[in-house]
């Protein structure tokens, strides 16, 4: 956010506008099973959903091999974030 927006204040506001709905729709605050039926597929496109599944599974003692999809999605988001940051970063 910091490399895409002009000021720190704007980046914080936009980050919070994105962060809190993502937390609600990803199964962190409300279990995905309790979300409306039409909203469940949307949660698959939120990276926090995959992070929550991975952490819950590890906490419950499941083997890491059960969460390859989640790890791949999170690695992809990380790579995409680094690429955007490298491309858009500017010294001021």
Sign (positive or negative) of CA dihedral 19, 21, 25, 30: positive
Per-residue model confidence as pLDDT tens digits over 28-75: 888 888 989 998 899 999 999 999 999 999 999 999 999 999 999 999
Question: Does any domain span residue 2?
Answer: no
Separation CA 37–CA 87 (nearest Å): 38
Q: What's the domain range around 22? A: 8-88
Tell me the CA distances in angstroms from 69 to 6, 33, 50, 52, one per residue in order: 35, 20, 8, 13
Average the pLDDT over each of 1-5, 41-45, 47-51, 82-86 and give the range with the smallest value. Answer: 1-5
Question: Does any domain span residue 74?
Answer: yes
Nearest 5°: phi and psi at 27?
Answer: 95, 10
Residues in the chain: 92
Total domain count, the chain: 1
Q: What is the pTM of this model?
A: 0.78
Question: Does any domain span residue 1?
Answer: no
Question: Does any domain span residue 19?
Answer: yes
């Amino acid at each position: 956010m910091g490399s895409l927006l002009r000021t720190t204040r704007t980046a914080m506001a936009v980050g919070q506008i994105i962060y809190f709905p993502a937390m609600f729709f990803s199964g962190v605050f409300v279990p995905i099973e309790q979300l409306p039926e039409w909203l469940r597929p949307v949660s698959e496109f939120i990276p926090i959903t995959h992070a929550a599944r991975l952490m819950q599974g590890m906490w419950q003692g499941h083997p890491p091999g059960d969460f390859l999809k989640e790890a791949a999605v999170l690695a992809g988001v990380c790579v995409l974030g680094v690429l955007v940051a490298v491309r858009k970063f500017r010294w001021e």
